[in-house]
A and B are shown apart, each in its own frame.
Chain A
Amino acid sequence: MSPQGVKEDVWIPTSCGGCYAQCGILAHRVDGVLVDLTGNPETPAGSGRICGKGVAQLHTLYDRHRINYPVKRTNPEKGVHADPKWQRISWDEALDTIVSKFKNMKDRRGCYFQATTVQTSEIRFAIPAFMRSFGFKNYWVSGGGLWCGNGAHFMNGITHAAWSIIPDWTYNNYTLYFGCSKGHGAGHAALQSSQWVADARARGMKAVVFDPFLSTQASKAHEWVPIRVGTDAAAALGMLNVILNEIGQWDEEYLKLKTNAPYLIGPDEHYVRDRDTGKPLVWDAGAGRPKTFDDASIQDYALLGEFEAQGVKCQPSFALLREHVKKYSLERVEEITSVPASTLRRVAHEFVEHAQIGSSVKIDGQTLPLRPSAAIFFRGSQGHVNSGWNCLAIDLLNQVVGAADVPGGAMGHGPPVCHGHPDTGKPETIPYTCKDGLMIVKGWVYDHKPYPLREPKPPTRLDLQDMFPCSVYNAFTIMSPDWEKYLEDFKIDYRPEIMINFGSNSVMTMGNAEDVTENFLKKFGFVFSFNIYQNEFTEAVADIVLPDCSFLERYTPCVTFPSTFCHPTGMDHWVWQIRQPVVDPLFERRDFNEVMLELAKRLGIQEKYYAETNKLIPVRYGGEMSPEYALDPKGDYSWQDICDRVLKDRLGPDKGLEALKQTGLEKWPTKVEEMYWRWFVSVRIPIYFEFFKESGEKARKLCASFGRENIQDWSFYRPLAEWFPCPSHEETDPDFDLTAFSWRPSFHTQSSTQNNPWLDEISVNDPYVYLIQLNEDTGKAKGLKDGDDIWVENKLGRRIKGPVRLVQGMHPDQLGIAGCHGHWARGTPISRDKGQFFDDLVIVDEKHTDSLTQGTDACVRVKIYKA
């Protein structure tokens, strides 16, 4: 006992769960009470820093509005704003009810799992293992469609083997930002990126930010380029046109050896294939004849020119791309984007100049291409009808100058190549090739890899997602008032019955709250939910709510793999981080993982649950499980036992849960071959997406066979990048003269942080977050004053109200709202009526969906008027 009567004073290493960056933190506990959170200097995931959102989790842990006991709904009426009239029940009653509901299902396939994006590790294997063992495929990561990414993740997977791309700030000198804030608090290795981009800025790195409003990143940039939302692909393809047809500069070697640029394309838009081997042909300019792409005798790959091979006239795909982008004359692009042609031309020149094509750098004894230009994108680019192509078009800028996964360029965030821990060789994730030489990721976050595309098959899921070749999340079916018609037409022979919700608030993260609730959520006869707060979702539809642990009260065996957003770019360390309870759960809170394990046991599916876990671990964490640590289907394991086995299997016998609890992490140095992997891994990536066409044709025929050929616009499935407009771009009603978009403040995480009093305090004082931002001149022309309450109304007559903030930092045609605010749940009184709920304006239907990736279009044509 210390003189002050302090019995305990400890610092516990764990991982933050305030966003998806999963930074390493130290929790300070005094006499059983968590009193502070700081960064953990031992980990590269945060490197000793912490952000305000992280520190504020102190209040989330102890928030007196949290759920402490299981409750059941006593008001049978469900709906947005309904009062569930919660009644406290025992855990026994809650679990007995849940088990009996499961056992009395008509068809187990009618289950639906909905989970939060923030607790990333739980969704890696615990949830899929339960789904597979109980026998259902319906799954949704909350906010996935609207707040996270279809286009970005899918397309980054095809071209970078990664979930996201980020500049290599160690060497980068010039970055084009499209609708993303990486390095400015976004959860993409948030804390390291913040430091590294600040270092880069200090040494003269230039950033040019294409954004409709003066975002944080635009404020810090060398140049802000105001652009209409959702027109990113047009801008990128216009600049590509300048690069390929005016400047005439590209990275020959990269295109020839690392892409399908030299592959010969016939008049049918497909590869010309070798008759014997079926392999795509290229033109060997040295030998003057076609050869298969992997022929060792090729002297020089032709990138331009017209040839004849296998009796057909053909051209290298690069020549087609070069010709294709001529469609994007800067005059046309200016009309679409509002960005002056002179700006686009200048930026294209600067991008190429800074790429320093031909230069190299020596790192750890290895000479590598140095390409210090990068074009990056995220939510803003992809939340549109052109989701997939916006992302691919922007990335083509990196590809033509060879600035992909080399020093200074756009890096697959992760990185995707990992040789594993020195003692175990796990996780091991090295991409490999398909028969056409194109890259396939090894290990992937999601069930279906980005490439090869999913084979279109009759759907089995309630959202029909598994019928589409590139879909990650698919909302237009389930949010439709005609969902039943979709199910009938596509001959789905079961119906929604039970929804399991883990931590999400989908009433506020999928689109209009009434649509989500009435068309989708209310179709489930029974909904049970693990939450830390009663939120808009639980109050609208949950029948039973279970008091979950927060991330500071639970064990998780790994939060930093699969490496999506946790590791910094540049040479540093790999880190395997765990989560552990820093205080004992208060009241009757129980960890989601333990409860799901208990449910599996009570449902008699634990043998399958263990077996499925054994199958999932190798996919998610790279490498087979050793028999010693694989779960014995006949065994009986607690969640901590499972954590312990995963750790020992991946990191070594002396690095089980007890050992990792001491350190919170295991780290080892990254290698040049991993971080700058592109020239060390023998794979090519497409600049010509030959496979889309065939896949789209199959999907079209499949849908036609169900009588629903027009469910999507199949012209999106084409080989060359394109800009397709959103409905907002084609609106002609002069009253609807503004396009509304949402943005994400770095100090909030989707809909989960607004009840935090410290974050609310800074939001109240922030000049933008709780207000509707409108260009000052536009506002004045409409007779508005700063602070006036206005209505923002969409074409369906749905409207939201709030005070307007007249700013200069906003495109005159556009209107910005920070997303996921304006809560109304009884359970989160601090967040109530603070800011606006943008999603209420979002229209989710076939027309407002990317036909390629099924991403939801999140820009809305609106009119505004004084309230």
Chain B
Amino acid sequence: MARYGFVIDLKRCYGCYTCQVVCKAANHTPKGIDWARCVQAETGSFPSTLRQMLPMVCMQCAEPACLEVCPTGATQQDENGIVTVDQDLCMGCKYCMMACPYGSRQVVDAWETYFPDAEGALDPYEAYARKKWDEKYGSGVATKCDYCMDRVKQGLQPACVEACPSKARTFGDLDDPESEISILIRREGGFQLNPEFGTDPSCYYLPVR
């Protein structure tokens, strides 16, 4: 029993999009599906301008907005606080997509190749990735980041944490006050994104300056 959480250090992140790409490789997400997208935008005015990088993951909220709207009970919360989707129960109504204030859910309407202009059969990698995806998710159901639980169960870090070139991401147990993420949040003023949504996210950010 734990409450799994993320800390993303905005001081360290420089917006290279590695998280976004590595997530695709690790989870075989199809075209257009990004569970770990990195949003970038500019704030301030010349010359006191800042380019903000905001890498996103599922917030695994303690009070998930997606959970209460799910009509079939497909959305569940496991004992470690990870919000999951039972693909057999999900009917693809997209209520959860609308309810999630962080845009963390996506539905694949129909699997598409990345190479629409190419002739012939899928290449060996895309064929492999499609098979993996179909085994776990398929089309017409809600999908989302689950902090790479398959990897975590094997003792590995989530893929985006392992790869992050600037070590901006830390994964751990929010319930353990001595975990690295708990210490980081306390010591460096970790904050939740839009806490006013009232969902109590498990992903914390460390301030950019």
Contact = CB atoms under 8 A, between A and B. Distances in A.
A808 B14 contact: no
Interface of B: 9, 11-12, 14-22, 24-26, 31-32, 34, 37-38, 40-42, 44-47, 49-53, 114-115, 117-120, 123-126, 128-129, 162-168
Nearest to B125: A62
Interface of A: 30, 32-39, 48-53, 55-56, 58-59, 61-65, 184-185, 190-191, 194-195, 197-199, 201-202, 214, 216-220, 224, 226, 746-747, 757-759, 761-762, 765-768, 775-777, 807-810, 812, 829-830
A51 B123 CA distance: 23
A272 to B, nearest CB: 48
Contact of A64 (B14, B119, B163): B119
Given A55-B18, A757-B114, 14 more contacts: A30-B128, A33-B128, A49-B164, A52-B17, A52-B18, A53-B21, A56-B21, A65-B118, A184-B14, A197-B166, A199-B167, A746-B16, A807-B42, A830-B117
Contact of B49 (A30, A201, A808): A808
B42 to A, nearest CB: 6
A62 B126 contact: yes
**Interface of chain A, main secondary structure:** mixed
A747 B118 contact: no
Given A64-B118, A767-B42, A747 B16 contact: yes
Nearest to A50: B163
A776 B128 CA distance: 46
A52 B21 CA distance: 5
A63 B117 CA distance: 11
A758 B42 contact: no
23 contacts: A36-B25, A48-B162, A49-B162, A52-B20, A55-B18, A58-B25, A62-B125, A65-B115, A190-B165, A194-B14, A194-B165, A214-B42, A214-B50, A218-B51, A219-B51, A219-B52, A226-B46, A747-B17, A757-B115, A765-B37, A766-B40, A767-B40, A809-B49
State the 7 A-B residue pairs at the shortest beta-carbon distance, nearest first: A64-B118, A52-B21, A757-B114, A219-B51, A194-B165, A62-B123, A198-B12
B35 to A, nearest CB: 13
A36 B25 CA distance: 6
Nearest to A30: B128
Contact of B123 (A37, A64, A758): A64
B131 to A, nearest CB: 10
Given A35-B128, A38-B162, A52-B21, A224 B47 contact: yes
A4 to B, nearest CB: 11
A34 B125 CA distance: 7
A32 B127 CA distance: 13
A829 B44 CA distance: 37
B123 A63 contact: yes
A36 to B, nearest CB: 6
Given A64-B119, A747-B17, A808 B41 contact: no
Contact of A38 (B14, B45, B163, B168): B163
A195 B51 contact: no
A59 B53 CA distance: 26
Contacts of A38: 162-163
Given A64-B115, A226-B46, A767-B42, A185 B164 contact: no
Given A30-B128, A49-B165, A224-B49, A216 B26 contact: no
A194 B16 contact: yes
Contact of A219 (B14, B18, B123): B14
A214 B51 contact: yes
Residue from A37, A53, A761, A810 with most neighbouring chain B CB atoms (10 Å) = A761
A775 B47 CA distance: 10
Contact of A35 (B16, B125, B163): B125
A195 B40 contact: no
Contact of A63 (B44, B52, B115): B115
A268 B24 CA distance: 65
B125 A33 contact: yes
Contacts of B46: 226, 775-777, 808-810, 812
Nearest to A184: B14
Nearest to B33: A761
Contacts of A63: 115, 123
Contacts of B114: 59, 757-758, 830
Nearest to B12: A198
A49 B14 CA distance: 15
A62 B124 contact: yes
A185 B22 contact: no
B40 to A, nearest CB: 6
B26 to A, nearest CB: 7
Choose among A38, A64, A190, A224 the residue with the greatest number of B CB atoms under 10 Å from its CB. A64
Contacts of B53: 219
Contact of A758 (B9, B24, B38, B45): B24
Nearest to B10: A220
